[in-house]
Amino acid sequence: MNRLTFVSGWAGHPDLFPRLSQAAQFLHPFVLQTPEEIQDALRAGEGEMLVGWSTGAHLVLKDLPELSKRYEQIVLIAPFYQYTRCLYRSTVLKMIENFDKNPVRTVRAFYRTCGVRGADASWCDAYRDELRAGLEFLLDSEAVFAPDKEYPHVLVLAGLSDQIVPVSEAVEIAGKLPRAQYRALTTGHYVPEEELEKSVEEATGRSLF
């Protein structure tokens, strides 16, 4: 049993979450595991807390009815039903085009939009194929399920300055999960670990680390 499992987002390198990458079972979509491998790992696991950010939250959301049986607390940071509900499909296609030309520059620009400052993006050059496949995945992946029970142990977090996933998406998701908690943060798409730790503890009474 893993006390803490963290599912990162597209280009969510461990350097963005230095404490979480050490303290948690750290899953990185497309780079370390395929989406299918992540879903298999989550379904086979169990633990005290499962946290997903962005694409990670999307993957958890896709399997939420099952995963809610296995994890005592689930935290969804900037979750989305479908990426192209948040960004125009043409925007994602343009991102793929830019990525093909210069992956490092594209990831660096993505970090700026997320609200990450000063992060190194050079690592992504070694994962061109994996990250490009991730963008292709995000064009069509959709979380669809009919909530058939209450979710008091689910916390949905959204950054008020998020330029990737609008607050309205997180509000809608939280509203469709009976008894789920929702909390708005004064952040962008990226939530620093200190802010995440504080928000989780205030909302749930549980320590992240």
Cα distance between residue 82 and residue 55, in whole Å: 10
pLDDT class for 2, splitting at 50, 70, 90? confident
156 secondary structure, DSSP code:
E
For the chain, percent of residues with pLDDT exceeding 70 = 100
**Strand pairing partners for 142?**
82
Whether 3 contacts 47, CB under 8 Å? yes
Model confidence at 169: pLDDT above 90 = yes
pLDDT class for 122, splitting at 50, 70, 90? very high
Domain range summary for the chain, segments of one domain joined by +: 4-84+139-204
Q: What SS3 string covers 124-149?
A: HHHHHHHHHHHHHHHHHCECCCCCCC
Query: Whole-number mean pLDDT of the chain?
Result: 96
Question: Fold for domain 4-84+139-204?
Answer: Rossmann fold (3.40.50)
- Give the model's pLDDT for residue 148: 77
- Give the model's pLDDT for residue 155: 98
Q: State the average pLDDT over residues 149-178.
A: 96
60: left (phi over 0), alpha (psi -120 to 50) or beta: alpha
**Strand pairing partners for 185?**
159
Cα distance between residue 148 and residue 156, in whole Å: 18
Model confidence at 60: pLDDT above 90 = yes
- Give the model's pLDDT for residue 31: 97
Q: State the average pLDDT over residues 73-85.
A: 97
The residues, ordered by sequence, that sit 6+ positions from 146 with a Cβ below 8 Å of its Cβ are none
Model confidence at 147: pLDDT above 80 = no
**Strand pairing partners for 4?**
49
135: left (phi over 0), alpha (psi -120 to 50) or beta: alpha
